[in-house]
Structure 1
Amino acid sequence: MALVAAVVSYRHLSGLFRHYGEDPLTATLGPLAVDGLMVMAAAALLTAQTRPAAVVAEPEPQPLPVNTIRLEPLPRPVNGAIPSGVVR
């Protein structure tokens, strides 16, 4: 089946090249170049679909540091006023 398709494709493209006035060398080699590029493109697509995706190693999670937050007492309000920088 593939051989028949290749022969028909070659003859068709060669006839088109001759119809548009191309020289005999181009009419002979041109279809091979076009069909060759299509075969290479199909092979590249098949290879890209069947090749497994690259596995990216994720870094191991690091344990959280213990006692890194230092709590300090809030400043005492003077006469009921809220000291600057303190959010309630």
Structure 2
Amino acid sequence: MTVASAARQKINEEFKNNQDETSEEKINELLKIASDVEVILRTSVIQAVHTDSDKILLIPRKDLLQDNTPYFDKPTKKHES
């Protein structure tokens, strides 16, 4: 099962489990969680296809491309004015 299929299955399962919910507050909370999960999936999960026994073709979406944050071993000290 692919990540996308597993995510879709889990989303459908959660909606079915909560289909009888009547509390507007709880419904809004569940929709917020669903929206947050969508953002995480769109910006953090990349699709890939095996093209050969030792090669994988990555298929990044525009949403996945983010600015790189440089890594520093030691934090820089702020100069006091």
TM-score (norm 1): 0.30
Q: Which is greater in Rg?
A: 1
Larger fraction in strand? 2
